[in-house]
Structure 1
Amino acid sequence: MTAPDLNALLADIETLVSCESPSHDHRALAHSAASVAAVGLRLLGVGPEHLVTDGCPHLRWRFGDGPSRVLLLGHHDTVWPVGTLRTHPYSVRDGILRGPGCFDMKAGVVMALHAAAALPDRDGLTILITGDEEIGSPGSRELIEETARGCEAVLVLEASAEGGALKCRRKGVSLYRIEVEGRAAHAGLEPDKGINAGMELAHHVLATAALSDTTRGTTVVPTALTAGTTANTVPATAQLAVDVRAWDRTEQERVDQAVRALRPVLSGARLHIVGGVNRPPLDAAASTDLFALADSLAADLHIEPLSAASVGGASDGNFTAGLGVPTLDGLGAVGGGAHADTEHVVVAELPPRTTLLTALTQTLLARHRPAADTGQRTGHPACGPSATRRASAQERKR
């Protein structure tokens, strides 16, 4: 299998990185979607469906008249605000590519498009690139699940874990906002007439943090909090965001019940709980067979043995795995620094990882295609433990 042209990969990554696309900026996202669509049109010879949910643009390519069998899944939104390019410009130096969103995950989007372009037959392939993943996919979840339902495999182009490991297990995510209603009063003249929403909130910061369970790997982290309006006023309102990560649904349900059972501590205060389970866990079982096949193909392509990682971060692959669809994540760029000033991509890894993605997609598409249509067979049987050339490397937590 011929390796993709590195210069072509870099040129397309530069195009996407240079089009800033923070999740909440729909105008910027529209420009970004247009850039992705243009790259895809040039490589694939056909434009995508343009889909919009809640003002946010998503792109989908479907090939063939039959059902979709393999879904390449990614997103074009980033956490970086417009203007970041002025301080973090696109660059390639000493084998390292930098720029806002390069690692998470515009390089992965380009890899998906180039891998699809290299396929001799795309019948049964779908590519879905969403625009709101970084904020929990509020508008695209239904689209993702509708597109993935019935597929035989979902390959997620999120960036790899440390050292290029594939993400074969992810924690589920729950997100909450605790809103407190108190009563304002002058902090110096008559504080006793107020109900301090900030003090009420402090009780719930401690109460939610106590729900963590280190033995089960469950983290419950109070994050953003606000209270009050002026320094000399008893706060009338307060809000707290809570981030929950858990390896299994039982833990998600335990924490959910505990958060919803919170009650006011101060007399007269009122609580409102907003939010809940955002993404189910991506269990290791969802990735086992696909990882074995990818590892076997890597050996055939003379690529270094693959390793598997368990990570606390979630992706849209959690949704597809939650449907029971086999899902393999972390097939995108090798590098590091997601959401940080150190975000980067290792340039030398782009061609082999794209080649592996092409081979994996081609093998999966060929499985149920009539023999006359498969062309040259890959020789790989249905994946499973017997198809594994070597044991997966030890799991590493990012």
Structure 2
Amino acid sequence: MPTPAAPDLDLLLTDIRELVECESPSQDLAAVAASADVVARVGARRLGVEPERIVIDGVSHLRWRFGTPRVLVLGHHDTVWPLGTLATTPYSIGDGILRGPGCFDMLAGVAMAFHAIATLPDRDGVGLLITGDEEVGSISSRALIEDEARPVGAVLVLEAAAEGGALKTARKGTSMYEMAVTGRAAHAGLEPEKGVNASVELAHQILALAALGDASAGTSVVPTVLAGGTTLNTVPARAQVAVDVRAWTAAEQERVDAAIRALAPALPGAELTVTGGVNRAPLEERASLGLFEAAQAVAARLGLAPLARAAVGGASDGNFTAGAGTPTLDGLGAVGGGAHAADEHVLVGALVDRTALVAGLLGELLTDRLPERQAAGRRRP
């Protein structure tokens, strides 16, 4: 395949701005739908064809297919930022730094996907899927992602790069739980002994949950959002906590899952209910290294600096595609930092080279010149 044309930075920045200035917090389905309208418009402008709009459980996802896909490009348009964030953190560019809610994770990557595909002399064999609920676990889109990934030879995920622009060749798996405690209400002043304090029980359970982590194995078990009680003078009859679990291996996920479900109440009369479980399996390096080597070769051919790789604790939809048995390379999106933080930013100077890398890698994979690398990364669920 001929070398793709160089991306146009001005047009790329125009598209990133348009995406960033349409806020898309995952939990607000109307905002996600409005964002999908913008993403569809920008994508159609660059690719010359409208996407298929797929709404699942009220969540808006977009899919482009050029012929029968052999390579899938994957991203998401939802963000973690609530409506109104633009008022305090507007889109801006200064001193080579682009800022705005969701710019790094991962609206710049969405725009880069459009421009990388648009520069290909022949797009036949490319699939592009942009989902709308990645930041909340991809509950509605998981089956769609896995179905799109299984038939293809490779998945390129345009999530933001790791520190220094490194590609992500391994990601921890994630599990998500909620533990609910049922106690018994009573007057906190008149007869507290007649109650079963759900908040006290929850305190015992939070300590037990945190103790399930294993730093030596890289496994974290983190109680996060908690709530309990009704009024100041009432013994709480109910309390609950959300729990975030991260692990490098499926075996560790299974160990923690069994341990959480085996926890018993500390207070007589208290009851525990655990919901949730494993969300994303780990993305292991064996699913990525062949594609990383291919990207390294493309970078050399384009005269770009040698690529680095990283293993990261955060999960992405690349965990699903690797778990479905398809070689997956992640972190091909924007270079910058501050994901989910007030200093979220993108390095403008890296946008063109990074987009050219994605286009070059797509072109290489579409020629089928890498069957051995692709086979080496493939594993079955």
| Short-chain TM bin | over 0.9
Q: Structure 1 CA distance, aligned partners of 2:371 and 2:358?
A: 17
Q: CA deviation at 1:381?
A: 5.2
Q: CA deviation at 1:323?
A: 1.1
Q: Do the aligned residues in 2 keep the contact of 1:185 with 1:191 (CA within 8 Å)?
A: yes
In the alignment, structure 1 residue 161 sits paired with structure 2 residue 128: no
- Match of residue 9, structure 2, among 6, 9, 31: 6
Q: Which residue of 1 aligns with 2:26?
A: 23
Q: What secondary structure is seen at the aligned counterpart in 1 of 2:205?
A: helix
Q: What secondary structure is seen at the aligned counterpart in 1 of 2:217?
A: coil
Q: Do the aligned residues in 2 keep the contact of 1:92 with 1:98 (CA within 8 Å)?
A: yes
Q: Structure 1 CA distance, aligned partners of 2:361 and 2:32?
A: 30
Q: What secondary structure is seen at the aligned counterpart in 1 of 2:184?
A: coil
Q: Structure 1 CA distance, aligned partners of 2:370 and 2:311?
A: 27
Runs of 4+ in 1 over 4 A off after TM superposition: 380-385
Q: Which residue of 1 aligns with 2:294?
A: 293
Q: Do the aligned residues in 2 keep the contact of 1:280 with 1:319 (CA within 8 Å)?
A: yes
In the alignment, structure 1 residue 226 sits paired with structure 2 residue 227: yes
Q: What secondary structure is seen at the aligned counterpart in 1 of 2:214?
A: coil
Q: Do the aligned residues in 1 keep the contact of 2:174 with 2:245 (CA within 8 Å)?
A: yes
Q: CA deviation at 1:42?
A: 1.0
Amino acid at match of 1:39: V
Q: Do the aligned residues in 1 keep the contact of 2:223 with 2:242 (CA within 8 Å)?
A: yes
Q: What secondary structure is seen at the aligned counterpart in 1 of 2:245?
A: strand
Give the fraction of aligned pairs with identical amino acids, expressed as a percent: 65
Q: CA deviation at 1:121?
A: 1.1
TM-score of the two chains, using structure 2 as the length reference: 0.96
Q: Structure 1 CA distance, aligned partners of 2:186 and 2:373?
A: 66
Q: Which residue of 2 aligns with 1:140?
A: 141
In the alignment, structure 1 residue 191 sits paired with structure 2 residue 195: no
Residues 172 and 94 of structure 1, relative CA distance in 2, 3 Å threshold: same
Q: Do the aligned residues in 1 keep the contact of 2:74 with 2:156 (CA within 8 Å)?
A: yes
Q: Do the aligned residues in 2 keep the contact of 1:293 with 1:383 (CA within 8 Å)?
A: no
Q: Which residue of 2 aligns with 1:347?
A: 348
Q: Structure 2 CA distance, aligned partners of 1:214 and 1:92?
A: 39
Q: CA deviation at 1:81?
A: 0.7
Q: Structure 2 CA distance, aligned partners of 1:140 and 1:301?
A: 35
Q: Structure 1 CA distance, aligned partners of 2:216 and 2:32?
A: 41
Amino acid at match of 1:235: P
Q: Do the aligned residues in 1 keep the contact of 2:199 with 2:238 (CA within 8 Å)?
A: yes
Q: Which residue of 1 aligns with 2:131?
A: 130
Q: Structure 2 CA distance, aligned partners of 1:138 and 1:50?
A: 17
Q: Which residue of 2 aligns with 1:54?
A: 57
Q: Do the aligned residues in 2 keep the contact of 1:290 with 1:383 (CA within 8 Å)?
A: no
- Match of residue 39, structure 1, among 37, 42, 45: 42
TM-score of the two chains, using structure 1 as the length reference: 0.92
Q: CA deviation at 1:302?
A: 0.8
Q: CA deviation at 1:150?
A: 1.4
C-alpha distance after superposition, 1:25-48 (max 9, x if no partner): 111111110111111111111100
C-alpha distance after superposition, 1:353-391 (max 9, x if no partner): 000100100111111xxxxxxxxxxxx655649xxxxxx
Q: CA deviation at 1:116?
A: 0.6
In the alignment, structure 1 residue 204 sits paired with structure 2 residue 205: yes
C-alpha distance after superposition, 1:208-231 (max 9, x if no partner): 111111111111111111111111
Q: Which residue of 1 aligns with 2:378?
A: none
Q: Which residue of 1 aligns with 2:326?
A: 325
Q: CA deviation at 1:238?
A: 0.2
Amino acid at match of 2:81: W
Q: Structure 2 CA distance, aligned partners of 1:383 and 1:104?
A: 32
Amino acid at match of 2:201: E
Q: Structure 2 CA distance, aligned partners of 1:78 and 1:322?
A: 24
Residues 244-283 of structure 1: pairs in structure 2 closer than 5 A: 244-283=245-284
Q: What secondary structure is seen at the aligned counterpart in 2 of 1:352?
A: helix
Amino acid at match of 2:113: A
Q: What secondary structure is seen at the aligned counterpart in 1 of 2:316?
A: coil
C-alpha distance after superposition, 1:46-85 (max 9, x if no partner): 1000000110100000011x3x210000000000011100
Residues 113-128 of structure 1: pairs in structure 2 closer than 5 A: 113-128=114-129
Q: Do the aligned residues in 2 keep the contact of 1:166 with 1:309 (CA within 8 Å)?
A: yes
